[in-house]
Amino acid sequence: MLLFGLASVLTTATVAAGGKAELSFPDKVNEGDQITIKCDWSGFGANSKESSDSCDLNCQRVNLIQVKITQKTDMIYRSSVNGAEAMNGWEVQTNAGSDAAITKVAQLEDSHDYNCIVDDDAGNFAMDSKPLLVRVIPSPPVIIAPSDKKLIINEAGEITCMSGIASPPPVYTWYKNDPATGQSIQLPADARTSEQFAQSSFTVDENKVKFLTVTEADEGEYFCVAKNEVGQTRGTPEKISVGSVSVASVVGIVFAVIFGVACLGVVGFIVYKKMSDDEYDEEHDAFDDDANDVQIGEAYAPYDHKSSRQDFSHVV
Question: Domain with 15 in it: what CATH number?
Answer: 2.60.40.10
**Is 156 in the same domain as 212?**
yes
Q: Which of 85, 100, 135 is the last residue of a domain?
A: 135
Claim to verify: residue 97 and residue 177 sit in the same structural domain? no
What was the pLDDT predicted at 282? 58
d(CA 103, CA 29): 13
- Res. 255: pLDDT tops 60: yes
Judgement on whether residues 106 and 205 belong to the same structural domain of the protein: no
Q: Are 154 and 131 part of one and the same domain?
A: no
**Average pLDDT for 186-191:** 96
Whether residue 280 sits in one domain with residue 203: no
**Range of the structural domain that residue 296 is part of:** 248-315
Q: How many domains does the chain have?
A: 3
Is 54 in the same domain as 148? Answer: no
* 62 and 15 fall within a common domain: yes
Contact 157, 150 (CB under 8 A): no
- Cα torsion 249, 252, 254, 257 to 10°: value is -130
Read off the pLDDT of residues 8-42 as tens digits, 9 standing for 90 and up: 434 444 555 568 999 999 999 999 999 999 999 98
Q: Same domain, yes or no, for 228 and 271?
A: no
Q: Phi-psi bin for 206: left (phi > 0), alpha (psi -120 to 50), beta? A: left
Q: Please state whether the peptide bond connecting residue 170 to the residue before it is cis, i.e. omega within 30 degrees of 0.
A: no
Alpha-carbon distance of 46 to 206, in angstroms, equals 58
Does residue 10 sit in the same domain as residue 94?
Answer: yes
Residues 99, 131 share a domain: yes
Q: Quick check: 168 pLDDT over 90? A: yes
Last residue of a domain, one of 94, 112, 135: 135
Average pLDDT for 278-283 = 59
> Which of 214, 244, 274 corresponds to the end of one domain?
244
- How confident is the model at residue 82, as a pLDDT? 75
Q: Is 28 within 8 Å of 46 (Cβ atoms)? A: no
Residue 147 confidence (pLDDT) above 80: yes
Indicate whether 151 and 128 sit together in one domain: no
Q: For residue 71, how many C-alpha atoms fall within 13 Å in the half-sphere facing its CB?
A: 16
In this structure, are 8 and 94 located in the same domain?
yes
Query: What does each C-alpha distance from 33 to 25, 26, 59, 87, 152 come to in angstroms?
Result: 13, 11, 32, 19, 48
